[in-house]
Amino acid sequence: MRILFSLALAACVAACNIRIDDRAVFRPQPNLPPADSVEALSRWPIAELRAVVPDAQAEHGFSGMGDDRLAYTLVSKPGANRPLIVYCGGNSGDRFHSGVFFALKTLPYGDVLLFDYPGYGDSPGAPSAAALAARAPALQAIAVERSVDRQLVFWGHSLGGFICSRMARDTPSADGIILEATARNALEVGQAWRPWFAVPFVRLSVDEGLSQFDVADTLANFRGPILVLGAKRDDTLPVGLSRSLNDALRTRGARVTYVEFPRAEHLDITRQPEFPAAASSFFASVAGQQ
């Protein structure tokens, strides 16, 4: 996403305006045609996951119907009342290419519901903020159904922070949110990427659909615990964006905890030695133990 933005910046300096739209944000990987049946979703690489977590189970399905469906995979481990985590990945991840990585980072803390954004993996259509907003309620209903008698947590990485905050806001039973290496909104991301020398003469604007994603405003009335995770060495979404998000949430009275990892980059916060303690404290708070 940053490369695309930089190219657009170089091409548009003379025009002094860059518009951040769906094409700059959603970048699905090339993939096989979307699966047209639940049986076809079983191509998900469960064997790769079981090489690390032998007792992992995977259940596949679709939320919604026809061209409005989203493909999902529920990955679980044996255990009573494990939290259900709805995981929203970054702008290029999907269940097939990245799902095992997503599952390995989340399974220590609960079962995880993975899903493909529109136009990603096994979800048909074109990727856009509008398409995602239209299809999200059906997936949220599945999350609510599967989280009876256990905690429901939304976890978003990078672009997924925008998405999971909206889903959590619209899910009354959501208990907590993790915002990993993300930002408050697309405009702040664009400003962070704009070179200092371009500031006086390059104006930024955000497409209407994307402008509706402002994580701090979205979560202004959310009363569950929120964990914001920043990576000091992040060169994709600089750590100042996580700090800004934390500050904005605090001014809105959110129950936010900010943890910054001095050696982490954009994709490896959960591999830092300090992470398990931060995550365990958050999930204990969600369960009402702190």
Each residue of 59-77: pLDDT tens digit? 999 999 999 999 999 999 9
Please check whether residue 22 lies inside any domain of the structure. no
Please check whether residue 264 lies inside any domain of the structure. yes
Q: Is the pLDDT of residue 273 over 50?
A: yes
The CATH code of the domain that includes 155 is 3.40.50.1820
User: Quick one: average pLDDT of 136-157?
Assistant: 97
Q: What confidence score (pLDDT) does residue 289 get?
A: 63
Q: What confidence score (pLDDT) does residue 7 get?
A: 43
Please state, in angstroms and rounded to a whole number, the distance separating the CA atoms of residues 284 and 290.
6
Please check whether residue 250 lies inside any domain of the structure. yes
117: containing domain: 29-184+222-286
Please check whether residue 47 lies inside any domain of the structure. yes
Please check whether residue 51 lies inside any domain of the structure. yes
The domain tally of the chain equals 1
Please check whether residue 105 lies inside any domain of the structure. yes
Predicted model pTM:
0.92
- Among 2-11, 23-32, 187-196, 272-281, the range scoring the smallest mean pLDDT is 2-11
Please check whether residue 7 lies inside any domain of the structure. no
Q: Each residue of 85-110: pLDDT tens digit? A: 999 999 999 999 999 999 999 999 99
Please check whether residue 192 lies inside any domain of the structure. no
Please state, in angstroms and rounded to a whole number, the distance separating the CA atoms of residues 219 and 34.
33
Backbone angles phi, psi at 240, to 5 degrees: -60, -25
Amino acid at 240: G
Closest CA to 183 of 136, 246, 132: 246
